[in-house]
């Protein structure tokens, strides 16, 4: 049982190049991002680091694991930036960074993937966030069956308390904040954000899905 959030985006200033023979079946359009891979990744880490407490668990450029020699399972965003700044990455094309983030009582896994050069139709930049929730069986096993006290007539309920259990809404707020920070660093274009409950499905029209262009 999990809540999923996804951002897909292009970058402003990207260029398109056509190659191939005569006729549409033989032509190929390639999209090239406005940044070299090293700068692309560094800007992404800067945006992720705006969320206090974000840590990096995995960092790959093409097929190279940049954290292979690290002893800790997770490192800070600042430490990851130092590794990126000390590596020659301009000849690379793709990167993937997996982060861990906690907010209040919830723990998120956030993965950002970027591709400097790719076929048209594939996104230049993707962020995938996952919030794992216990199943109803796991909750029952942990807390047991508690007898609920009767509710008095004069009891009122706080809407903010209800929001605490609206995990899709909380994921949406997190993704919107991430998108704003990423837009500042990368100048996103045609950005699309959606959130859904993995158990309920409905990725085409999720309950809290929103579309927002940076």
pLDDT for residue 143: 57
Task: For residue range 111-165, list pLDDT tens digits in order.
Answer: 999 999 999 889 999 999 999 886 667 656 655 555 545 555 555 545 444 455 6
Which residues 6+ apart lie within 8 Å of 209 measured at CB?
193, 194, 195, 196
Would you give per-residue pLDDT tens digits along the chain (214 residues)? Answer: 799 999 999 999 999 888 765 656 667 889 999 999 999 999 999 999 999 999 999 999 998 999 988 888 999 999 999 999 999 898 899 999 999 999 888 999 999 999 999 998 899 999 999 998 866 676 566 555 555 455 555 555 454 444 556 889 999 999 999 999 999 999 999 999 999 988 766 444 443 344 433 3
């Amino acid at each position: 049982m999990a809540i999923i959030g996804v951002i897909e985006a292009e970058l402003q200033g990207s260029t398109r190049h056509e190659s191939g023979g005569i006729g549409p079946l033989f032509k190929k359009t390639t999209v090239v991002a406005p940044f070299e891979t090293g700068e692309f990744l560094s800007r992404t880490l800067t945006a992720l680091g705006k969320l206090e407490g974000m840590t990096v668990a995995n960092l790959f450029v093409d097929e190279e694991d940049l954290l292979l020699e690290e002893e800790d399972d997770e490192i800070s965003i600042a430490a990851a930036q130092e590794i990126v700044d000390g590596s020659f990455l301009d000849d690379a094309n793709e990167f993937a960074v997996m982060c861990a983030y906690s907010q209040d009582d919830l723990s998120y896994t956030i993965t950002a993937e970027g591709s400097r050069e790719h076929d048209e139709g594939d996104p230049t930049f993707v962020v995938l966030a996952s919030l794992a929730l216990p199943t109803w069986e796991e909750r029952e096993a942990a807390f047991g069956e508690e007898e609920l006290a009767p509710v008095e007539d004069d009891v009122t309920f706080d809407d903010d308390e209800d929001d605490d259990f609206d995990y899709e809404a909380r994921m949406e707020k997190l993704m919107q904040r991430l998108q704003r920070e990423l837009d500042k660093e990368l100048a996103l274009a045609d950005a699309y954000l959606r959130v859904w409950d993995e158990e309920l499905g409905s990725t085409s029209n999720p309950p809290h899905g929103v579309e927002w262009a940076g």
